[in-house]
Structure 1
Amino acid sequence: MSLLDLVRPDLRAFAGYGSARRAGASGTIWLNANENPWPNPMDADGRSNRYPAPQPEPLRQALAALYGVAPERLLIGRGSDEAIDLLVRALCRPQADAVVVSSPVFGMYAVSARLQDAPLVDVPLVDGPDGFSPDLAAIGDAAQARGAHLVFLCSPGNPTGEAIALADIAALASRLAGRAVVVVDEAYGEFSEVPSATMLLAAHPNLAVLRTLSKAHALAAARIGTLIAAPELIAVLRNCQAPYPLPTPSVDLALAALQPAPLARTRERIAQLRAERERLSARLAALPGVRRVYASQGNFLLARFDDAQLAFERLLAAGVVVRDQRGAPQLGDALRISIGTRQENDAVIAALTDMEVAA
């Protein structure tokens, strides 16, 4: 069974929309896309009157270099969210091909499955002495039993912070070869000590990796995400993607951010955030009223509280907004706290210290 056999039969030969920019024509007078010939008066660069390239080659090359993969393995989209949605729509027939997740986890996997009417199979994370971890044997069993076409692994996990060893990912991909695509979401990969699953792509065609410039590269508003997978799967998804997914200003910003000097500064800030993560973790764990702080490979911490409502309210009163996780499975007493600057993290500590004094 080939990888393309997992694609919906009606989409295997689907050509998508043949936009003006995909036609491949070249010239100096552009009259093929019904664009306005004059730039907007507020457009300082004078380029936004023209549709952008669907997959800009300079950005494609820069991201391929950043992630250490061949450019033909890349699909660039509007954050990781678009790639998740495309994967579910292209690989899962409604009410037939299941999506496997392990909660608590990033909610967009379930949202995309729901929108496609694809069966959602949840194999919960196991909360053990060393933190949360996926039960990969049970995930493999569920994927086979339910006819899943997609398995989402979040590594580092969001909101739980755990990273999955490459050997374990490879074993699951091998087990599900010809049955399902295993997608490793590495949105927080730059903060992790575990190497990227991109190292496994050559040996496992049914493996795909999600990366983003939103977190470590501080470009959340630019919405630049990347799916890295087998070229034949990338080609199918490209035909399912919107005609012009990447706004020119976002592409320009991403290209500027991936130059050597900004990249060096980004790496410095990643090191700072990792150091602050460990400092904040230790300080939080020492506070009365904090039940548990989970080890994290991301740029956030998951903490359990004796009174999570009071902790949430005291943080808000101090102007600190954190993510309330109490509605998530297994997290009825938990908050997720992003790692900020040293001063911002000190504000968290101060607010929670005051909570204990006033309680």
Structure 2
Amino acid sequence: MSTVIATRTSAAAPLSPSPLALVREDLRDFAGYRSARSDKLDGRIWLNANESAWLNPADRDGDLRRYPDPQPPRLRAALADLYGCAPEQLLAGRGSDEGIDLLVRAVCRPGADAVLVTSPTFGMYAVSARLHGSRVVDVPLRDEAWGWYCDFAAIAATVATQDVKIVFLCSPGNPTGEPLPREAIAALARQVEGRALVVVDEAYLDYADAESVVGLIAQQRNIVVLHTLSKAHALAAARLGSVIADAELIALLRRCQAPYPLPAPCVELAVQALSVPARAATAAHVADACQQRDTLYRRLQGLSGVRTVYPSQANFLLVRFDDAQCVFDRLLAAGVVVRDLRAAARLDDALRISIGTPEQNAAVIDVLASGQGAA
């Protein structure tokens, strides 16, 4: 797998301020809900959580009548090993979406603070902000001849003037596919220190020739990283993601999380999927996906009706067409479903194509090359 385990920054570097200073003042001493599993107790007869004393007939193993551990140590340790952090720096949750929502609720004051996004980007950043009553400030990516460019200087200037408390960066970008420079992210975090968190969504980093920013957290404590098992690890239905951040911030987010966020069957499946053999298999699948992505990129570039194929280090390609509606309809008629992005700003001629098996990718090319998808 292409994700590089990041090493910690030199201890000689000055430590940045605690990120708790950026948390809503009314939540800094928030204790949260204390569930029956909050206290680590040992016993023979468990009568503290109002659980059923009788099994459900569908519960063959007898494990489902008990509430699960809110943060199972085995899962947390396996994820921490995968991402190169300490277990206390990691919060497991229901996909990256829960992490996004927790961060917005914990940091932004409704009606007062803003989050910053760089469109086109993953839509859940703005959705979570708006549901919470926070403003969304956009510093759009620049569409250059060679690909998409993130204007870090403009982001820093906007944070200074717009009451931005969270900067959401997606690296590699969704739907753009470009990784962001690690050094630029570190510099931005230093520039907005004391004003904002820099949240880097690394959902697609496994497919990129790029280093994680997790290792920057040790010194730059306003950096937060999101990860998910939905993409490279092929566990989208299990809904398991991670927030990686300074341990003090993770402890606060844990107090803001729902009492029992992780279903026990999903946890067990994830632990198995993070074993050494399973991780080796995942790495092989990622290598195959990257090879297929690069092949599909080259083949799409030579087709009539294709306007632009953007370079990508994710498991998808963003493609502009002369007639995107025609291409979408023809692919759908052939049984091939791709993502229609034409409602997004500056993408009114674009479709996003996920990387499939060699046979599935060949089906896309066959439809377009045969003239079925030509404008």
The two structures have a TM-score, normalised by structure 1, of: 0.98
- Of residues 298, 302, 306, the one that matches 1:290 is 306
CA apart distance, 1:358 = 6.7
CA apart distance, 1:298 = 0.5
The structure with higher relative contact order (CA 8 Å, sep 6+) is 2
CA apart distance, 1:354 = 2.6
- Of residues 186, 208, 219, the one that matches 2:235 is 219
Instruction: Check conservation: 2:327, 2:372, Cα contact below 8 A.
Output: no
Aligned residue for 1:338? 354
Deviation digits for residues 277-311 of structure 1, max 9, x if unmatched?
A: 00001111110000010000100000000000000
Aligned residue for 2:8? none
Matches within 5 A, 1:262-301: 262-301=278-317
Distance in 1 (CA, whole Å) between partners of 2:164 and 2:203 is 23
Higher mean alpha-carbon deviation, 73-82 vs 27-36, is at 27-36
Aligned residue for 1:260? 276
Deviation digits for residues 218-242 of structure 1, max 9, x if unmatched?
A: 0000000000000111111111100
State whether structure 2 residue 34 is matched by structure 1 residue 25. no
Instruction: Check conservation: 1:289, 1:356, Cα contact below 8 A.
Output: no
SS of the residue 2:348 aligns to = coil
Distance in 2 (CA, whole Å) between partners of 1:189 and 1:35 is 41
Identity of aligned residues (%): 60
Aligned residue for 1:87? 103
Deviation digits for residues 140-196 of structure 1, max 9, x if unmatched?
A: 111111111100000000000010011000000000111100000000010011110
Instruction: Check conservation: 1:314, 1:355, Cα contact below 8 A.
Output: no
In structure 2, the gaps of 5 or more residues are 1-16
Aligned residue for 2:326? 310
CA apart distance, 1:40 = 1.4
Instruction: Check conservation: 1:80, 1:212, Cα contact below 8 A.
Output: yes
Counterpart residue type for residue 101 of structure 2 = D
State whether structure 2 residue 82 is matched by structure 1 residue 63. no
Distance in 1 (CA, whole Å) between partners of 2:231 and 2:356 is 12
Distance in 1 (CA, whole Å) between partners of 2:105 and 2:36 is 24
Distance in 2 (CA, whole Å) between partners of 1:211 and 1:225 is 6
Aligned residue for 1:120? 136
Distance in 2 (CA, whole Å) between partners of 1:237 and 1:331 is 35
Distance in 2 (CA, whole Å) between partners of 1:280 and 1:43 is 45
Instruction: Check conservation: 1:213, 1:220, Cα contact below 8 A.
Output: yes
State whether structure 2 residue 251 is matched by structure 1 residue 230. no
Instruction: Check conservation: 1:140, 1:175, Cα contact below 8 A.
Output: yes
Q: Stretches of 4+ moved more than 4 A in 1?
A: 356-359
CA apart distance, 1:39 = 2.3
Distance in 2 (CA, whole Å) between partners of 1:191 and 1:3 is 30
The two structures have a TM-score, normalised by structure 2, of: 0.94
In structure 1, the gaps of 5 or more residues are none
- Of residues 191, 197, 219, the one that matches 1:203 is 219
Q: CA RMSD in A?
A: 1.0
Instruction: Check conservation: 1:126, 1:133, Cα contact below 8 A.
Output: yes
Counterpart residue type for residue 353 of structure 1 = A
- Of residues 61, 74, 77, the one that matches 1:45 is 61
Instruction: Check conservation: 1:322, 1:335, Cα contact below 8 A.
Output: yes
Higher mean alpha-carbon deviation, 37-46 vs 14-23, is at 37-46
Aligned residue for 1:348? 364
SS of the residue 1:184 aligns to = strand
Change in 2 beyond 3 A, CA 1:123/1:358: closer
Q: How many residues align?
A: 359
Instruction: Check conservation: 1:323, 1:336, Cα contact below 8 A.
Output: yes
Instruction: Check conservation: 1:311, 1:355, Cα contact below 8 A.
Output: no
